[in-house]
Amino acid sequence: MLGLESYRLVADMNRLLALLFHQGVLDEQFLQLQQLQDESSPNFVSEVVNIYFNESEKLLRNLRTLLMDREQWEYKRVGVHLNQLIGSSSSIGANRIRNVCVALRAASEQNNRLGCLRALDVLEHEYCYLKNKLHEFFHIEQQRVLAAGIRYPNPMQQQQQ
Amino acid sequence: MANNFQNMSMLIVDDEALTRTVHEFTLRHSGFTKLQMAENGMQAIQLCQSGEHYVIITMDFSMPLINGVRLATKLLREKGADSLIVGVSADGDPPLMEKFIKAGADRFYSKPLTPEKIATFFQNIQSITQWKSKAL
């Protein structure tokens, strides 16, 4: 018999996800990832999201470096990094990040350096928000798995003994 | 999805590890078992030249060394590959789709590939293969 704790944690996870969907932070692709998770790959979503965080942090650092360089405007390299970030964000359902990347790319194509820097600030903020929320989500999921592993004694079985 | 499609060998060409992982899982979840990955166009060409035959090749547009459109052209026109080509990009914009189709791609999808897009593609695959065999 599962404890109430497990149900409470599931409710917390659902509430957090609902919030992120409502805010447009995540889209349906995140649900698709969850559907790919099964017994043979029980940590698929968290593993994919960790790959995303590792890759994205490198890309964001590179973008900051490229855009802070006043001497040389390497808009092509900015475009390359942004295309990667757009693709990976689409793959995990990071909808708001994807949209900000599209706006940043438009500013880059217009050689609007100030617009790019502003958009990059927003992008970094969105990334931090998503990372914090998904870490919270996976932390609750870990607690749920642990709670579900605790089996409460069945009162009927205890009476028979 | 028809069982005779699930033994088809597929090659997924994308320079992003995350996209390769998600596409691989999506396709395996849809029942496909013969999947190979390539990190760039040159690897894809080498795999095709090594004697491997892929019924379907999906390729991202934005890749280093050789982009997806040029890869499609190389494989179909220069190497004579008869694989079904699916162009993929983070951008779903029509000009890019047109470039892929002109290069000989059979379909184009914006990322990511989802089970629904895969199902749609395979619902139409019979008409694509019939058209291709007549064209050849």
Nearest-CB residue to A91 (from B29, B62, B111):
B111
The number of domains in chain A is: 1
Q: Assign domain B2-127 to its CATH architecture.
A: 3-Layer(aba) Sandwich (3.40)
In a domain, A128, yes or no: yes
pTM: 0.84
A86 contacts on B by Cβ (under 8 Å): 90-91
More confident residue, B10 or A4: B10
Which residues constitute the domain of residue A36? Answer: 4-150
- Both tokens assigned to A132: 């914090």
Q: What ipTM was estimated for this complex? A: 0.79
Q: How far apart are CA B118 and CA B30, in angstroms?
A: 8
In a domain, A155, yes or no: no
In a domain, A158, yes or no: no
Strand order in the sheet with B84-89: B34-38, B9-13, B56-60, B84-89, B107-110
A55 contacts on B by Cβ (under 8 Å): 16-18
Whether residue A92 and residue B18 make contact (CB cut-off 8 A), yes or no, is: yes
Q: How far apart are CA A142 and CA A86, in angstroms?
A: 29
Q: How far apart are CA B32 and CA B29, in angstroms?
A: 7
- Assign B8 a pLDDT band (cuts: 50, 70, 90): confident
Closest CA to B75 of B49, B37, B51, B96: B49
10 Å CB burial of residue A91 (0-12, 13-18, 19+) is buried
- Assign B59 a pLDDT band (cuts: 50, 70, 90): very high
Output the domain CATH number for residue A45.
1.20.120.160
Nearest-CB residue to A88 (from B18, B26, B91):
B18
In a domain, A41, yes or no: yes
In a domain, A112, yes or no: yes
